[in-house]
Amino acid sequence: MDLNTRMSLCVKQVVLSTLALVLLGGCTDIGPRSIRANRADYNMAIQSTSDQELLLNIVRAHYRDNMYFTTVERVVSTEQLLSSAGANLSAGWTQSTPYNKGTTSSSVISHGQSQTLGLGPAAVALNDEPTIFYAPIEGEKFVRQMMTPMNLETLILLVRSGWSIDRVFAVAVQEMNGLGNAPSASGPTPLYEPEYRDFRDATHLMRVMQRTHNLDVGRTASNKSVEFHFLHGSENSAEAKKLKQLLHLAPNIDRIAITRDDKKHDDHTISITTRPLIAAMNYLSQAVDVPAIDVASGRVTRTVQNDGVTPFKWQDLLDGRFEVHSSSKPPEAPSVAIHYRNAWFYIADNDLESKSTFVLLTQLIALHSVPPKEGPVLSYSVGN
């Protein structure tokens, strides 16, 4: 080997060795760097897949298919940084063979990967093995959670925290002083249009007065019950008078007691029947716009008006608060989308009304959630 070749190889060796040492020295803070690199990704992945699962179950409800829920119990990500000396220039990526380890109570699937880089006399290896634990949400506790009417106090809390009263009541209230909010839509899609117009008009009036700060909702002075309170002398406004007329209330009152006792009826009280979570999901599932072929083939119920002929438009009831579109192709700009029954179902990213209602539903579910029943936990360990 001539002198120039030996000098060239020596220079390369020095450069590669220096680079390897820099890499090794820069990896001492791998822990903090790993958090910065991965935490947001895990957060977004869990959030987006939770949204997809909720939308999937709403679509399933419209098709009268069984709903099914899972939860991500925890994520464990293990990263190992290994170094060695005396390696030749090399780079590689290896992936372990998946294995299935089953027991009577759980199933574990492991899948890892390793990345190696050898530069001159030094080498770096990074082993990454994230593990995600899923648990099915099922059993008696879950069924009771889904079938128990929502807590009136929770709804009032949401309204006081900034949610519009008409949106909260549309999703979570089934009846108010005899005014039905599409009670027949709380189960499978009905054959005939539901009762809803007077309820919708009443909640619209409440929203107008809420937006102009003329209607407040909260606890009574004794803190024993919840009430509506007309502010700034608005109890005699045109909106208040129309609202009281719809709800069969005394015309001059400035405070209205709110109760869930459907046996209590007087002209100073609003009796409210709340929906269970499963009924709220069935109600919102009426907003799913299914492919025409599924309607023609009888896979979904076609609701008609009371004349028995004219198709009923569910958006007349939902008033644009929630709409799920369908497409044969992946949508271009969805907020959330899922593929089901050979079609794409999605909420458009620029549909702020539907996105708000979807967020409200997730909050209602969270506020009524219970810990999943102890039982089999599925653990999946996957590589990036």
CA–CA separation, 59 and 340 (whole Å): 8
Range of lowest pLDDT (4-13, 104-113, 319-328): 104-113
Q: Residue 117's pLDDT band (boundaries 50, 70, 90)? A: low
User: Residue 39 carries which side chain, given as an amino acid letter?
Assistant: R
Q: Residue 263's pLDDT band (boundaries 50, 70, 90)? A: low
CA–CA separation, 75 and 85 (whole Å): 33
Q: Is the pLDDT of residue 18 over 90?
A: no
Transcribe 215-275 into DSSP letters: EEEEE-TTSSSEEEEE-TTGGGSHHHHHHHHHTT--TT-SEEEEES-TT---TTEEEEEEP
CA–CA separation, 212 and 217 (whole Å): 14
Query: Which tokens go with 180?
Result: 């039905």
Q: Residue 225's pLDDT band (boundaries 50, 70, 90)? A: confident
Distance of CA 334 to the CA centre of its chain: 14
Q: What pLDDT is stored for residue 30 in this prediction?
A: 62
Q: What pLDDT is stored for residue 373 in this prediction?
A: 46
CA angle 127–132–133, rounded 5-degree value: 140
Name the percent of the chain lying above pLDDT 90: 54
Q: Is the pLDDT of residue 157 over 80?
A: yes
Once rounded to an integer, what is the mean pLDDT over residues 132-150?
83
The CB-side HSE value for 59 (13 A sphere, CA atoms) comes to: 25
Once rounded to an integer, what is the mean pLDDT over residues 312-341?
95
Once rounded to an integer, what is the mean pLDDT over residues 200-225?
89
Q: What pLDDT is stored for residue 139 in this prediction?
A: 76
Could you give the residue ranges of the DSSP H alpha helices within the chain? 3-26, 30-62, 140-147, 152-160, 165-172, 197-211, 238-246, 277-285, 292-296, 314-318, 352-367
CB count in 10 Å sphere of residue 294: 16
pLDDT in tens, 336-348: 999 999 999 999 9
Residues ≥6 apart with Cβ < 8 Å to 368: 145, 148, 150, 151, 154, 277
Q: List C-alpha distances in Å: 69 to 274, 342, 374.
A: 23, 21, 15
Angle between helices 197-211 and 238-246 (to 10 degrees): 150
Name the percent of the chain lying above pLDDT 70: 72
Q: What pLDDT is stored for residue 112 in this prediction?
A: 54
Q: What pLDDT is stored for residue 110 in this prediction?
A: 46
CA–CA separation, 331 and 345 (whole Å): 8
Q: Residue 383's pLDDT band (boundaries 50, 70, 90)? A: very low
Q: What pLDDT is stored for residue 74 in this prediction?
A: 77
CA–CA separation, 185 and 205 (whole Å): 23
For all residues of the chain together, what is the average pLDDT? 81
Q: What pLDDT is stored for residue 374 in this prediction?
A: 46
Q: What pLDDT is stored for residue 380 in this prediction?
A: 42
Of 237, 232, 266, nearest in space to 252 by CA: 237
Once rounded to an integer, what is the mean pLDDT over residues 55-72?
93
CA–CA separation, 273 and 172 (whole Å): 9
Residues ≥6 apart with Cβ < 8 Å to 155: 168, 169, 172, 173, 274
Where is pLDDT greater, at 290 or 379?
290
Query: Which tokens go with 266?
Result: 């007087």
Q: Is the pLDDT of residue 203 over 60?
A: yes
Q: What pLDDT is stored for residue 121 in this prediction?
A: 55
Q: What pLDDT is stored for residue 75 in this prediction?
A: 76
Q: What pLDDT is stored for residue 41 in this prediction?
A: 83
CA-CA-CA-CA dihedral for 234, 238, 239, 242, to nearest 10:
120
CA–CA separation, 190 and 308 (whole Å): 12
User: Residue 112 carries which side chain, given as an amino acid letter?
Assistant: G
Q: Residue 83's pLDDT band (boundaries 50, 70, 90)? A: low
Once rounded to an integer, what is the mean pLDDT over residues 379-383?
42
Q: Where are the domains of the chain?
A: 3-141, 149-367
Once rounded to an integer, what is the mean pLDDT over residues 288-315?
95
Q: What pLDDT is stored for residue 104 in this prediction?
A: 37
Where is pLDDT greater, at 84 or 333?
333
Q: Is the pLDDT of residue 17 over 60?
A: no
Q: Is the pLDDT of residue 24 over 90?
A: no
Where is pLDDT greater, at 104 or 66?
66
CA–CA separation, 347 and 372 (whole Å): 28
Q: List C-alpha distances in Å: 218 to 156, 208, 211, 261.
A: 7, 17, 16, 18
Is residue 127 classed as helix, strand or coil in its secondary structure? Answer: strand
CA angle 354–360–347, rounded 5-degree value: 25
